[in-house]
């Protein structure tokens, strides 16, 4: 953890000073993305120090050959993973004959990075003295256009400070990239074609095996003191995978020389292969027509619209404010909800770790954020993503021995194929299936849009119910159904029997599927017969499902009056985390795996995840008892842990604890709690941060088609506000220690409930409670 | 399974006919070894078809870099594994200008292999027609000398059948070999030096990292019609890692041309690095002085001595006879017990699979065979091997968080380092520690030699008791000690709680260690104070151990009146193997891993392994009940499974079942039950085959320092016999349907018990019961 790394600021992420040790961490934190592509904050100019180069294109993946120690039946031979894409940002720079490289300059001062979240751009500036004695000032601004999501923009300015300078710009595009996360150090890109003319260049490459074609392009202009010199390259260096232009220019001491580079990708997901270069040309034409200043203003406007809906303000706590905005900003950089083929990778566009793009994080943590801050189509696209992968989930089930259309959705995926290869997770962390069903329920609960279920959702629910029915087995000893050999959300337990969360969710999935079948049968007859005919569902089958749900075993301790995380939990040595020597933590770094497994320590909410999903099934007393029983054993070594506990602590009125959890979730990356931010940011848990405020402090719940609030505020804050798109009505909520205020956009009134009391909110009128 | 592969024969393994599909399987089955080195039955001449080249040197290993899918804390970075050694057998052959290659000959007939187990040699013969029309007959005999264990001998004869032939012999030695089982396809050998003169050549190479130095050598002589031509090479091709001699000779039609090649290794385990070549030269000098015929006779004599003590005869069942001799022969080829740095690899010198050389197989399965058929020093050497690795076992324990000298011996090892990388095995299959303690007990029980315990064994017992004490935890719920998160011998269960076998063994280990501490304290005062001072053992510690042993939880079912394999076993769907569709088996090929785990199916004896070790702790009724409960769920998909069940079936008088299990264990490789013999033979389970006859059918037990027998015989047999070295008295036992006969060597009488009745056996007198 490093609390002094990032300068506190309401709207920007700022780093001051050049520290080679922090390069990789800052490359993660200052990453930019526009939903369609993104990249780590690598330098444009060459850098010979340690760096982690990464550019990524949404939806472009590679089926890397599996690497395992010992093969287990059922493992996928290949799995799709996030792919480092060709580099379009590179600009090698020569100053008076010397290559600019911050790692070899004799002095670097006033180095600063700023990620301006309000306006959606990244800026870097510094003064450097080269070995040849030339001093220069550099200012670089870069952004990825939200409006034209195939376009990236760089404005790179150099001012010689102590003498005139001959400046050579060598912008390039390069498909010769490697993945940090490749299993076998293979190349994933095959160059197909290059083209260049005047100031434009194109490299077309395709991924091996998956054959995604991508044109990477650039278009460059050289300026002096803001005036376009209309330069053309004096030289072009071209190979089959890289094109580099050489521009020579001179700047007198104090003059501002600059290069504007437009670049990005056009990809075969969105264009015909044969049209990739012409599509890129058309992006360039439009960008040149607008010019840099207009593009920047459009970017500012586009981000302004996003913030208008999704901003959360916090008064009196800059670090908390910066934290929540960083989380909201990153989520919007990663996924904008326009395309149901895309999803939210755990590292977004900030790194490669964790392989694929889609985890149960999406359903359990991200959907609430997108439902409340976007049009409902966005969440619907996330649900549709799984619907479109249902066939592969059924195949995945078959691979593991399930039949009759039972689906097991993958633990990690890009395209529906399983991307994970640890048996205890891949085969056993099956609760993910439950989260996918829960998201359908949650979507309907929040948006009121039932149409998704007859159109698509019911098929998913049936396939999931079939899975649970087959996966449970009858214990003749207990005369109840048991679910053996699972891993729950708490991955510090593997291959356990009767994980409460999994069993409860399985039972709920079946019950919910049966309810929806009945409802669709009654109310959507045409859909019903289509689905019945497609799934070959029979009444007898449903009766068998119900037997499982009705007789599902849930481990319980009479002594402690709590559900047990799994069979045998009470046989453990129940030493609380608080009583564990600090030198032993984090246990995932200090302890061997077997020791972790036999300990009582919980990585992230497990039983409590069940209480989070199904809060309304339990009394507040039950929640309190379970929270008091399990939280003391929880080490929160997953980025997904603090948010759920923050919400529950707030629900129980334990504001100090809720606030501590909140800080941990919201500044996890900014303060680098786990000393791993150099691998990328924890994108999906950022949605949990949003939930901590809205559901935790704000106490937002949807019950009976209405919004309910139980507003609370941490002592450290003077006030906070957030906005909710509830069924196309935009409600803003302001909370301070004394009162809660609401404003409503539009023309229709809305009744909300505050601490159980109905409050009528008239449009465009401040209501204070 | 292929029952027609090997020709039934009492003393030889014979293959008739050339089948390219069987090359790799035969390379395994016809492997030869002499305890110090060994090799697969690769052809001497070049072969362009599919083959698995393998030569191995006992005790020479390489620390290969770990390959895992996902790293777990505690995994070793490197692990030592069996290493493919330089090739000394190669002889390229040219006949009338054409390279001899059975894969390209126009005809191959009368191809035969014979592994003569009685005399210890391997012979291959065939007639081939080359593409150039020359027909030749080839006869090759090869053996690895038992008397001079650095020496291998090849006699390669060629007779042109249809025309005169110019024959070019190109014998070579080559250190440029690769491991099939390399994790990263790296080379493991670095060539250091070569030397050649006249007919001798030497390549010195060393292993990377471990720096074992090995001189590989050859010495060649060319004969015509049995007369040494005293030829010298007409050409030498030498690189840094390979030397090849070219000998040209001519043979008229019908004349017998031959090359005798002596070759092998001298290694830095046994010689100074600087002396390797001269040591090899001295082997050559001695071999040349004796000549081929004498060497062969010495080999026959040496094997005759081995057979004299270890042979088992079976009358009336050639396949059973061939099976048991193959097992005994392979065990003797693999390990002769001369060197406590060596052990018994699961594939011996027949392949590379399973990495290291030492498993708990040695203690649980092999030691009884070596104790009964060799001098007691041999078994003592096997115990000493573990004693010498105790420090590494303590380090291994520390790596997993154990303290105070607690040892966890590795699951798989060459040098004491852990060589396995699956957490559920590496960290959790801890019962191996128990087998190591049990072997000490078993050694003393059988040999009567207590001296090993004060000298070495007690330190091992203390370190193991410390491990179990720390590894068990108090369940306040049960008020008993539990052992959580283990894998038992049945590897089809992972990370279970309270595996009966493990818990029982742990308790026994502590009790046994405490008894031995008390005995050594009383009877070996000097050893006692040395050990106490070395181990810093305190009385209070022992009291704490005893608490664990005294309150060890053993899962039990009142309903079934059996100990339960682990907590929760009865929650499984208890469908017997018999009721499982045949198409589903073997489940390790047909089912995904998670499905195997949640099934009730048992890979190999688990609870019953406990009943095997501690038969005397239980009544025959208890054994029967447990056998009847567990065997029906046992799929015997480990090579170590049938033998234990064969013994127990025989003990229970179920001879038909015992015989079926016997055949399966004894002909596992010969009949290729598991279709994997091409990877190598199952060496360690071969000792289980021996146990099936001696302990199963013969009913041999040692009780109160005496031999007890309960002889039985399968219907299919007319009689069988075996020999036992019991405390330096050699007793031969003959069993037929009606009677049991004994003869005793030496001068002292011996009282044995047959079905509980004392029988006095006088030396050199046949006693019939």
What pLDDT is stored for residue A73 in this prediction?
87
Neighbours of B588 (CB within 10 A): 18
Residue in A closest to B597 by C-alpha: A485
Return the residue matching tokens 């001491």. Answer: A253
Residue in B closest to A183 by C-alpha: B69
DSSP codes joined into one string, B344-372: --TTTTS--TTSSSB-THIIIIIHHHHHH
B185 pLDDT higher than 80 = no
Contacts of B441 (CB under 8 A, 6+ apart): B512
Comparing CB atoms, the residue among A475, A567, A571 nearest residue B475 is A571
What pLDDT is stored for residue B4 in this prediction?
76
Q: Which residues of A touch B591 (CB under 8 A)?
A: 73, 401
| Within-domain flag for A81 | yes
Return the residue matching tokens 């033998």. Answer: B643
Lowest mean pLDDT among A176-185, A274-283, A670-679: A176-185
Compute φ and ψ for A624, nearest 5 degrees.
Answer: -60, -45
| Within-domain flag for B333 | no
* Cα gap B727→B752, rounded to integer Å: 13
Percent of chain A residues past pLDDT 70, beyond the cut: 100
| Within-domain flag for B516 | no
Q: List, for residues B661-673, the tens digit of each pLDDT value.
A: 999 899 999 999 8
Residue in B closest to A487 by C-alpha: B594
Q: Note whether A593 contacts B423, CB cutoff 8 Å.
A: yes
Question: With bands split at pLDDT 50, 70 and 90, how would you rate the model's confidence at B103?
Answer: very high
Q: Note whether B401 contacts A592, CB cutoff 8 Å.
A: yes
B357 pLDDT higher than 90 = no
Counting the structural domains of chain A, the total is: 1
Q: How do A750-754 and A706-709 pair as beta strands?
A: parallel
- Largest distance between two CA atoms of chain A: 88
- The CA distance from A75 to the nearest CA of chain B, in Å, is 8
Comparing CB atoms, the residue among A422, A497, A570 nearest residue B571 is A497
Compute φ and ψ for B303, nearest 5 degrees.
Answer: -65, -35
User: Can you tell me the mean pLDDT for B432-441?
Assistant: 98
B583 pLDDT higher than 90 = yes
A56 pLDDT higher than 70 = yes
Q: Note whether A477 contacts B66, CB cutoff 8 Å.
A: no
A584 pLDDT higher than 90 = yes
* Cα gap A483→A500, rounded to integer Å: 10
What pLDDT is stored for residue A1 in this prediction?
60
Report how far Cα A200 is from the mean position of its chain's Cα atoms.
33
Interface test with A, best of B592, B599, B601, B603 (most A CBs within 10 A): B592
Interface test with A, best of B75, B551, B593, B601 (most A CBs within 10 A): B593
Q: Which residues of A touch B76 (CB under 8 A)?
A: none
Q: Note whether B427 contacts A474, CB cutoff 8 Å.
A: no
What pLDDT is stored for residue B75 in this prediction?
87
Interface test with A, best of B488, B495, B566 (most A CBs within 10 A): B495
Q: State both tokens at A502.
A: 């999994």
Q: Note whether A473 contacts B588, CB cutoff 8 Å.
A: no
Q: List, for residues B622-639, the tens digit of each pLDDT value.
A: 999 999 999 999 999 999
Choose among A78, A258, A229, A59: nearest CA to A158: A258
Q: Note whether B477 contacts A571, CB cutoff 8 Å.
A: yes
User: Can you tell me the mean pLDDT for B48-55?
Assistant: 95
Q: Note whether B570 contacts A598, CB cutoff 8 Å.
A: no
Residue B604's H or E segment, with its range, is none
What pLDDT is stored for residue B1 in this prediction?
60
Percent of chain B residues past pLDDT 70, beyond the cut: 100
A59: left (phi over 0), alpha (psi -120 to 50) or beta: left
Interface test with A, best of B67, B68, B69 (most A CBs within 10 A): B69
Residues of A annotated catalytic, as ranges: 491
Q: With the C-alpha atoms ordered A573, A574, A579, A584, is the resulting torsion angle positive or negative?
A: positive
* Cα gap B367→A152, rounded to integer Å: 71
Q: Which residues of B touch A497 (CB under 8 A)?
A: 568, 571
What pLDDT is stored for residue B675 in this prediction?
84
User: Can you tell me the mean pLDDT for B504-512?
Assistant: 98
CB B644 within 8 A of CB B696: no
Q: Note whether A421 contacts B69, CB cutoff 8 Å.
A: yes
- The CA distance from B565 to the nearest CA of chain A, in Å, is 15
Choose among A664, A659, A637: nearest CA to A649: A659
Residue in A closest to B485 by C-alpha: A598
- The CA distance from A552 to the nearest CA of chain B, in Å, is 13
Residue in A closest to B571 by C-alpha: A475
Compute φ and ψ for A234, nearest 5 degrees.
Answer: -85, -15
Q: Which residues of A touch B421 (CB under 8 A)?
A: 69-70
Determine whether B241 is exposed, middle or buried from the number of CB atoms within 10 Å of its CB (0-12, 13-18, 19+): buried
* Beta-bridge mates of residue A85: none
CB A33 within 8 A of CB A144: yes
What pLDDT is stored for residue A436 in this prediction?
98
What pLDDT is stored for residue A3 in this prediction?
67
Q: List, for residues A533-566, the tens digit of each pLDDT value.
A: 999 999 999 999 999 999 999 999 999 999 999 9
User: Can you tell me the mean pLDDT for B573-600?
Assistant: 95
Q: Note whether A592 contacts B428, CB cutoff 8 Å.
A: no
| Within-domain flag for B114 | yes
CB A400 within 8 A of CB B594: yes
Return the residue matching tokens 């709207």. Answer: A11
> Per 3-state DSSP, what percentage of chain B is helix, strand, and coil (rounded to 5)?
35, 25, 40
Q: Which residues of B touch A581 (CB under 8 A)?
A: none
Comparing CB atoms, the residue among B400, B422, B495 nearest residue A495 is B495
Report how far Cα B631 is from the mean position of its chain's Cα atoms.
26
B278 cis-preceded (ω within 30 degrees of 0):
no
Interface test with B, best of A421, A428, A571, A584 (most B CBs within 10 A): A571
Q: List, for residues B237-270, the tens digit of each pLDDT value.
A: 999 999 999 999 999 999 999 999 999 999 999 9
| Within-domain flag for A603 | no
* Beta-bridge mates of residue A39: A32, A55
CB A99 within 8 A of CB A188: no
* Cα gap A392→A414, rounded to integer Å: 11
What pLDDT is stored for residue B739 in this prediction?
96
Q: List, for residues B437-469, the tens digit of each pLDDT value.
A: 999 999 999 999 999 999 999 999 999 999 999
CB B700 within 8 A of CB B724: yes
What pLDDT is stored for residue A71 in this prediction?
84
Q: How do B750-754 and B706-709 pair as beta strands?
A: parallel
- The CA distance from B175 to the nearest CA of chain A, in Å, is 27
Q: State both tokens at A511.
A: 């019950």
A355 pLDDT higher than 80 = no
- The CA distance from A358 to the nearest CA of chain B, in Å, is 18
Comparing CB atoms, the residue among B427, B559, B570 nearest residue A593 is B427
With b meaning 16 or more CB within 10 Å and e meaning fewer, what string describes A635-663?
bbbbbbbbbbbbbbbbbeebbebbbbbbb
Q: Which residues of B touch A399 (CB under 8 A)?
A: 592
DSSP label of A7: B
Question: With bands split at pLDDT 50, 70 and 90, how would you rate the model's confidence at A257?
Answer: very high
Share the mean pLDDT of chain A: 96
Tally of CA atoms within 13 A in the half-sphere of A194 that contains its CB: 20
Share the mean pLDDT of chain B: 96
What CATH number did the domain enclosing B56 receive? 2.70.98.40
Choose among A490, A446, A317: nearest CA to A726: A446
**Any known ligand binding at B361?**
yes
Comparing CB atoms, the residue among B428, B571, B591 nearest residue A594 is B428
Angle between helices B376-388 and B390-399 (to 10 degrees): 40
* Cα gap A194→A216, rounded to integer Å: 9
| Within-domain flag for A229 | yes
Q: What is the dihedral of CA A181, A186, A191, A192, to 10 degrees?
A: -110
Q: Note whether B473 contacts A597, CB cutoff 8 Å.
A: no
Neighbours of A157 (CB within 10 A): 18
Q: Note whether B401 contacts A591, CB cutoff 8 Å.
A: yes
User: Can you tell me the mean pLDDT for B7-33?
Assistant: 96
Cβ-Cβ contacts under 8 Å between A and B: the total is 135
- The CA distance from A558 to the nearest CA of chain B, in Å, is 12
Comparing CB atoms, the residue among A476, A590, A594 nearest residue B427 is A594
Q: List, for residues A715-750, the tens digit of each pLDDT value.
A: 999 999 999 999 999 999 999 999 999 999 999 999
* Cα gap A473→A471, rounded to integer Å: 6
What pLDDT is stored for residue A70 in this prediction?
79
Q: Note whether B485 contacts A598, CB cutoff 8 Å.
A: yes
Comparing CB atoms, the residue among A68, A485, A594 nearest residue B598 is A485
| Within-domain flag for B95 | yes
Q: Which residues of A touch B428 (CB under 8 A)?
A: 594
A376 pLDDT higher than 80 = yes
Q: Note whether B68 contacts A72, CB cutoff 8 Å.
A: no
Q: Note whether A400 contacts B595, CB cutoff 8 Å.
A: yes
Q: List, for residues A68-118, the tens digit of each pLDDT value.
A: 777 888 888 888 888 899 999 999 999 999 999 999 999 999 999 999 999
Q: Which residues of A touch B485 (CB under 8 A)?
A: 594, 597-598
E strands in A83-183:
91-95, 98-99, 107-116, 121-129, 135-144, 152-160, 165-174
Choose among A725, A727, A729, A733: nearest CA to A693: A733
| Within-domain flag for B324 | no
Contacts of A27 (CB under 8 A, 6+ apart): A40, A41, A42, A51, A52, A54, A678
E strands in A640-704:
701-703
Q: Note whether A567 contacts B570, CB cutoff 8 Å.
A: no
* Catalytic entry in B114, B491, B631, B710: B491
DSSP label of A761: E
Q: With the C-alpha atoms ordered A432, A437, A440, A442, is the resulting torsion angle positive or negative?
A: negative
Helix (H/G/I), strand (E/B), else coil: A185: coil
Boundaries of domain holding A193? 32-310
Q: List, for residues B167-184, the tens digit of each pLDDT value.
A: 999 999 999 988 777 777
A179 or A615, which is more confident: A615
User: Can you tell me the mean pLDDT for B411-420?
Assistant: 91
Q: Which residues of A touch B588 (CB under 8 A)?
A: 73
Comparing CB atoms, the residue among A73, A475, A484 nearest residue B592 is A73
Determine whether B703 is exposed, middle or buried from the number of CB atoms within 10 Å of its CB (0-12, 13-18, 19+): exposed
* Cα gap B325→B329, rounded to integer Å: 6
A701 pLDDT higher than 80 = yes
Q: Which residues of B touch A568 (CB under 8 A)?
A: 484, 497, 567-568
Residue in A closest to B182 by C-alpha: A69
**CA distances in angstroms from B260 to B85, B90, B155, B295, listed in the order given:** 21, 12, 5, 12
What pLDDT is stored for residue B3 in this prediction?
67
């Amino acid at each position: 953890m490093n609390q002094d790394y990032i300068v506190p600021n309401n709207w920007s992420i700022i780093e001051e000073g050049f520290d080679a040790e922090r390069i990789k961490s800052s490359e993660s934190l200052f990453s930019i993305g526009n939903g369609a592509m993104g990249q780590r904050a690598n330098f444009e100019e060459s850098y010979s120090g340690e760096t982690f180069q990464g550019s990524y294109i949404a939806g472009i993946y590679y089926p890397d050959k599996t690497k395992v120690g010992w093969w287990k039946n059922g493992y996928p031979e290949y799995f799709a993973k996030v792919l480092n894409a060709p580099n379009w940002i590179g600009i090698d720079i020569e100053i008076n004959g010397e290559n600019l490289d911050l790692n070899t300059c004799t002095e670097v001062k006033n180095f600063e990075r700023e990620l301006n979240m309000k306006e959606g751009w990244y800026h870097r500036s510094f003064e450097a003295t080269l070995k040849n004695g030339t001093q220069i000032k550099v200012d670089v601004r870069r952004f990825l256009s939200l409006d034209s999501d195939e376009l990236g923009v760089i404005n790179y300015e150099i001012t010689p400070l102590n003498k005139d300078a001959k400046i050579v710009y060598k912008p390039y595009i390069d498909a010769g990239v490697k993945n940090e996360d490749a299993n076998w150090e293979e190349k994933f890109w095959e160059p197909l074609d290059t083209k260049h003319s005047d100031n434009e260049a194109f490299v077309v490459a395709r991924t091996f095996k998956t054959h995604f074609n991508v044109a990477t392009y650039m278009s460059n202009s050289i300026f002096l003191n803001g005036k376009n010199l209309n330069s053309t390259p004096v030289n072009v260096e071209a190979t089959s995978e890289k094109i580099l232009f050489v521009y020579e220019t001179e700047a007198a001491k104090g003059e501002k020389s600059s290069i504007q580079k437009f670049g990005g990708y056009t990809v075969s997901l969105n264009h015909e292969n044969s049209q990739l270069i012409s599509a890129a040309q058309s992006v360039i034409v439009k960008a040149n027509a607008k010019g840099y200043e207009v593009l920047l203003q459009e970017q500012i406007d586009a981000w302004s619209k996003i913030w208008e809906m999704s901003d959360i303000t916090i008064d009196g706590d800059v670090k908390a404010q910066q934290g929540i905005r960083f989380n909201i900003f990153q989520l919007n950089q990663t996924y904008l909800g326009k395309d149901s083929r895309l999803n939210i990778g755990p590292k977004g566009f900030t790194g490669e770790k964790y392989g694929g793009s889609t985890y149960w994080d999406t359903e359990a943590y991200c959907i609430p954020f997108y439902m409340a801050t976007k049009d409902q189509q966005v969440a619907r696209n996330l649900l549709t993503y799984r619907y479109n992968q249902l066939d592969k989930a059924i195949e995945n089930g078959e691979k593991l021995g399930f039949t009759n259309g039972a689906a097991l959705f993958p633990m990690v995926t890009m395209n529906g194929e399983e991307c994970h290869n640890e048996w205890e997770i891949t085969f056993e962390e099956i609760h993910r299936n439950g989260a996918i069903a829960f998201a359908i329920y949650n979507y309907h609960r929040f948006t009121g849009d039932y149409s998704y279920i007859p159109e698509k959702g019911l098929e998913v629910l049936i396939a999931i119910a079939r899975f649970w029915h087959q996966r449970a087995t009858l214990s003749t000893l207990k005369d109840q159904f048991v679910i053996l050999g699972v891993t729950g959300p708490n991955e510090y337990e593997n291959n356990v029997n009767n994980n409460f969360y999994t069993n409860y969710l399985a039972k709920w999935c079946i019950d919910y599927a049966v309810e929806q079948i009945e409802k669709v049968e009654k109310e959507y007859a045409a859909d019903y017969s289509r689905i019945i005919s497609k799934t070959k569902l029979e009444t007898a089958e449903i009766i068998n499902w119900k037997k499982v749900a009705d007789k599902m075993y849930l481990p319980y301790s009479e002594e402690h009056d709590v559900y047990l995380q799994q069979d045998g939990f009470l046989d453990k040595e129940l030493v609380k985390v608080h009583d564990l020597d600090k030198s032993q933590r984090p246990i995932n770094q200090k302890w061997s795996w077997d020791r972790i497994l036999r300990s009582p320590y919980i990585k992230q909410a497990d039983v409590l995840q069940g209480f989070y999903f199904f809060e309304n099934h339990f009394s507040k007393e039950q929640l309190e008892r379970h929270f008091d029983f399990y939280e003391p054993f929880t080490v929160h070594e997953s980025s997904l842990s603090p948010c759920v506990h923050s919400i529950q602590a707030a629900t129980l009125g334990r504001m100090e604890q809720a606030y501590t959890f909140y800080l941990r979730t919201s500044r996890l990356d900014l303060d680098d709690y786990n000393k791993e931010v150099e691998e990328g940011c924890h994108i999906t848990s950022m949605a949990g941060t949003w939930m901590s405020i809205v559901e935790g402090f704000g106490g937002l719940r949807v019950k009976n088609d209405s919004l309910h609030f139980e507003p609370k505020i941490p002592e450290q804050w003077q006030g906070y506000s957030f906005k909710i798109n509830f069924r196309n009505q935009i409600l803003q909520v302001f909370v301070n220690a004394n009162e809660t205020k609401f404003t409503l956009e539009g023309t229709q009134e809305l009744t909300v409930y505050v601490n159980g009391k109905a409050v009528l909110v008239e449009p465009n009128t401040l209501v204070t409670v």
